[in-house]
């Protein structure tokens, strides 16, 4: 009897002593042998991680907060689709592996936001939440917290040595997804519409940062409009060749140039608003081709606000047309046609307010005097 009770008690104890540990398979320390959760589960604070290479079509939905980790490349003809209102927050990454998104040649991005629901790329340090347009933790002076967005295509470029394709700046030469340029001016890299890119431009090497939006060899079938770049450590938007047309661009608070054109970019840019800060280098940095190709570009309706010191810098080999509003110091105008509208507008206002009334008064006096002279002579 005593032996039976002892065996029964032992069985109860054995059955009751389940192995404890973390039983949640989504946790970092999930224990496959654990039978009972002991509350020790540890979770990554960053959810919905995106990292490495995207080789198949992928959609980022607006009901989740997405986290970018390291250099992410869309390759093998895949399409990255991002729903309107989606927020992507990026970890900083380190060195050449700074967090960024590369849309490689032959792949596409379909990111179509709206005015009410823009697509936002920002840093994990930004406290913006799903459904919000902006957070409160960062301002226009905080930059370099992650990389940026890089779109690469097969359109012609004017590279040194007349190379058909070259490696984009900011991406290691060992990464083939960084190649851009080709012989297809009508190449299509997708759609970017109502996009906000904030607090990027991570320094990946000595004097080498990533632009807010980099466009390398992007063709004319690509659609780019309503783009906002805020607080980027390097350039706001930089074109390397290609001929994609872009419209409705806002660049605010860069650490280098706001708009930068290289390698004989030959597209049209319309409606640009530039808001430089004290850290901004040039509001416009325009270079020509490095090879034989030197196609002209067009920038229309470009306005610079709140600026006293920034310069528009045009290299001697640059070719194109610029329609510019703003009191900007323009350097090196060789090869370019500049229509500095604000100066024309100021002159027109001065003419209308001051000169025209004076001329009318003089004209009235002359006419009146002539009439008086006629009356005088007729009387005599």
H/E stretch holding 166 reads strand 166-167
Q: What six digits make up the tokens of 211? A: 């632009």
Q: Which residue stretches of the chain are H helix?
A: 2-16, 341-350, 356-379
pLDDT average per 10 residues of sequence, the chain (380 residues)? 56 58 64 77 75 96 95 97 97 83 98 97 94 92 94 97 93 91 98 97 73 97 97 95 97 94 96 90 91 92 76 82 76 56 42 45 43 38
pLDDT tens-digit map of 274-324: 999 888 988 999 998 999 998 999 999 998 886 656 688 888 788 888 888
Distance CA 365, CA 357 (A): 12
Which pLDDT score, from 0 to 100, does residue 360 have?
47
Torsion (CA) 77, 83, 89, 90 in degrees, nearest 10: 10
What is the pLDDT, as a whole number, of residue 232? Answer: 95
Sign of the dihedral defined by the CA atoms of residues 365, 370, 373, 379, in that order:
negative
Q: State the residue for tokens 């009410």.
A: 116
Residue entry with tokens 């600026």: 307
Distance (Å, whole) CA 315 – CA 335 = 9
Q: What is the pLDDT of residues 118-136, one digit of tens each?
A: 999 999 999 999 999 999 9
Q: Which two tokens stand for residue 230?
A: 């805020």
What is the pTM assigned to this prediction?
0.78
List phi, psi (to 5°) of 92. Answer: -65, -45
C-alpha–C-alpha distance, residues 83 and 111, integer Å = 7
Three-class DSSP labels, 290-344: CCCCCCCEEEEEEEECCCCCCEEEECCCCCEEEEEECCCEEECCCCEEEEEHHHH
Contact between 240 and 216 (Cβ < 8 Å): yes
> 112 — alpha (psi -120 to 50), left (phi > 0) or beta?
beta
Left if phi > 0, otherwise alpha if psi is -120 to 50, otherwise beta: which for 306? left
């Amino acid at each position: 009897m005593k032996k039976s009770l002892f065996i029964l008690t032992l069985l109860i104890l054995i059955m009751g002593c389940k192995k404890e540990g973390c039983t949640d398979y989504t946790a970092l320390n999930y224990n496959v042998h654990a039978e009972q959760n002991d509350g020790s589960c540890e979770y990554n604070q960053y959810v919905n991680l995106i990292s490495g290479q995207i080789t198949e079509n992928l959609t980022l939905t607006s009901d989740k907060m997405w986290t970018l980790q390291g250099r992410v490349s869309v390759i093998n003809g895949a399409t990255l689709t991002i729903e309107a209102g989606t927020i992507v927050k990026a970890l900083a990454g380190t060195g050449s592996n700074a967090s960024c998104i590369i849309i490689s040649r032959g792949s596409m991005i379909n990111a179509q936001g709206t005015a009410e629901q823009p697509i936002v790329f920002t840093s994990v340090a930004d406290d913006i939440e799903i459904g919000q347009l902006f957070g409160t933790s960062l301002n226009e002076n905080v930059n370099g917290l992650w990389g940026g967005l890089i779109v690469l295509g097969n359109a012609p470029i004017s590279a040194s040595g007349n190379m058909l394709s070259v490696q984009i700046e900011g991406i290691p030469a060992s990464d083939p997804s960084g190649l851009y340029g080709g012989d297809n001016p009508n190449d299509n890299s997708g759609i970017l519409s109502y996009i906000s890119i904030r607090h990027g431009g991570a320094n990946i090497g000595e004097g080498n940062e990533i632009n807010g939006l980099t466009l390398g060899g992007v063709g004319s079938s690509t659609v780019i409009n309503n783009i906002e770049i805020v607080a980027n450590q390097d350039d706001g938007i930089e074109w390397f060749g290609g001929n994609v047309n872009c419209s409705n661009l806002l660049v605010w608070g860069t650490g280098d140039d706001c708009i930068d054109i290289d390698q004989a970019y030959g597209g049209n840019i319309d409606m640009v608003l530039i808001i430089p800060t004290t850290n901004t280098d040039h509001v416009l940095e325009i270079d020509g081709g490095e090879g034989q190709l030197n196609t002209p570009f067009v920038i229309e309706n470009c306005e610079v606000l709140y600026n006293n010191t920034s310069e528009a810098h045009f290299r001697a080999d640059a070719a194109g047309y610029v329609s510019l509003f703003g009191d900007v110091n323009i350097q090196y105008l060789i090869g370019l046609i500049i229509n500095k509208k604000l100066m024309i507008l100021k002159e027109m206002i001065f003419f209308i307010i001051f000169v025209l009334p004076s001329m009318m008064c003089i004209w009235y006096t002359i006419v009146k005097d002539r009439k008086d002279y006629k009356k005088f002579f007729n009387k005599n």
